[in-house]
Amino acid sequence: MSTRTLISPAQLARPRGKILYWVTFGGVVTLFTVVFLGPMYWMVSSGFKDTQEVVRTPPTLVPESFEPDNYAQAWNVMDLAGLLGNTLYYAFGALAFQLVLDVAAAYSLSKLRPVFGKAILGMMLATLMIPATVLVVPQYLTVLDVPVFERNLLNTPWAIWLPSVTNAFNIFLLKRFFDSIPKELLDAASMDGASPMRTLRSIVLPISRPILGVVSIFAIVGVWKDFLWPMLTLPDPAKQTLNVGIYSLSNGVPVNVLIAALTMASLPTLIIFLIFQRNIMSGLTAGGLKG
């Protein structure tokens, strides 16, 4: 599958080219590993060091002291179990809401084609053009006192779940995928007397597994990575997410314990990524970019 790139294969085949290639290759792999993995290695290993070693100069590459206790301490002192549980709760709740409401909306816009459907889609997509940070203040005020329903959602999971549904990007992604499902397939189902709900469940959703996977990962990672919004809407320490909780406790704990906490907070998304990297990367670069 080797397609031609900048450097011609003939040039690479020559002895000089070969040497140059392997030198560059080694250099690039080393540099990338150091730059991208280095800080993470430092983080994981420093989590095992004792208080003196972690601030020692020059830093030790392999921890001399071995204190897995830091991890236990971080777990207890910072109540990582609680923060982790909260974050999971918010992330999977947001996922559920997005899967149900956004999929239904995209399905309706793509296949059921209601009156004003185009206008509604347009208004949804328009939200992508408004800088997100500009809306933080009015959104926060809305959460304080939801119009019509007159509820204060501060410190409730709803403050995370419901706004996460307003993800025009997801709806767009889903709609584009649904658009590509042949109309004949759905017509046949409706001919057999299937209701729109039944068609969605039995035909559209099974075909759409890849896109549902991508949307799900983005939904979870989105909540996992968010900082400003949960900081504003979940001021109660017992309800906070990992990001916010660690941030607010970061000044009170010893460096090595905090670093151990950072490692543990990073693990879940890193593991998700390593398992689903193929889906994530294809979701990112989905579609041949025209060249």
Partner 1 sequence: MSAPSLTPSKAARSRHDRPPVDGPPPPGGSFTRSLKRNLTAHGFLIGAVLCFAIFSWYPMVREFFLAFQKTDQGEVSWVGLDNLETVFNDPAFWQAWRNTLLFTVLALVFGFAVPFVVALVINELRHGKGYLRLLVYLPVMLPPVAAVLLFKYLYDPGYGLLNEVFGAVGLPEQQWLQDPDLSMLSVVIASTWMNMGGAALIYLAALQGIPGELYEAAELDGAGLLRKVWHVTIPQTRLILSLMLLMQVIATMQVFVEPFLLTGGAGPEGSTTTVVYLIYQYAFNFNNYGAAAALGLLLLVLLAGFSAAYVKLSRAEDE
Site for partner 1 in 11-40 (CB under 8 A): 12, 21, 24-25, 28-29, 32-33, 35-37, 39-40
Among 47, 54, 84, 86, binds partner 1 (CB under 8 A): 54
> What residues from 65 to 84 belong to the interface with partner 1 (CB under 8 A)?
none
Longest CA pairwise span in the chain (Å):
75
> What residues from 232 to 261 belong to the interface with partner 1 (CB under 8 A)?
232, 242-244, 246-247, 250, 255, 258-259
Choose between 39 and 252: whose C-beta lies nearer to partner 1. Answer: 39
Distance of CA 156 to the CA centre of its chain: 21
> What residues from 205 to 224 belong to the interface with partner 1 (CB under 8 A)?
218, 221-222, 224
Among 45, 166, 203, 254, binds partner 1 (CB under 8 A): 166
Among 15, 16, 138, 193, binds partner 1 (CB under 8 A): 138
Smallest gap from residue 283 Cβ to partner 1 (A) = 6
Among 17, 42, 254, 279, binds partner 1 (CB under 8 A): 42
Choose between 131 and 206: whose C-beta lies nearer to partner 1. Answer: 131
Smallest gap from residue 117 Cβ to partner 1 (A) = 7
Choose between 155 and 266: whose C-beta lies nearer to partner 1. Answer: 266
Would you call 189 helix, strand, or coil by DSSP? Answer: helix
Among 154, 162, 194, 212, binds partner 1 (CB under 8 A): 162
For CA atoms 233, 237, 243, 246, give the dihedral sign. positive
How many chain residues bind partner 1 (CB under 8 A)?
A: 122
Smallest gap from residue 38 Cβ to partner 1 (A) = 8
Stretch that binds partner 1, among 66-74, 88-96, 159-167, 201-209 (CB under 8 A): 159-167
Among 77, 88, 104, 207, binds partner 1 (CB under 8 A): 104
> Who contacts 265 (Cβ-Cβ below 8 Å, separation ≥6)?
80, 83, 84, 242, 243, 246
DSSP secondary structure letters along the chain: -----SS-HHHHHSHHHHHHHHHHHHHHHHHHIIIIIHHHHHHHHHTTS-HHHHT-SSPPSS-SS--THHHHHHHHHTTHHHHHHHHHHHHHHHHHHIIIIIHHHHHIIIII--TTHHHHHHHHHHGGGS-GGGGHHHHHHHHHS-TTT----TTSTHHHHHHHH--HHHHHHHHHHHHTS-HHHHHHHHHTT--HHHHIIIIIHHHTHHHHHHHHHHHHHHHHH--HHHHHH--SGGG--HHHHHHHHTTTS-HHHHHHHHHHHHHHHHHHHHHHHHHHHHHHT-SPPP-
92 binds partner 1 (CB under 8 A): no
184 binds partner 1 (CB under 8 A): no
Smallest gap from residue 3 Cβ to partner 1 (A) = 5
Give the separation between CA 87 and CA 93, rounded to whole angstroms: 10
Choose between 36 and 236: whose C-beta lies nearer to partner 1. Answer: 36
Count of helix runs (H) and strand runs (E) in the chain:
18, 0
Among 154, 165, 203, 205, binds partner 1 (CB under 8 A): 165
Smallest gap from residue 97 Cβ to partner 1 (A) = 8
204 binds partner 1 (CB under 8 A): no
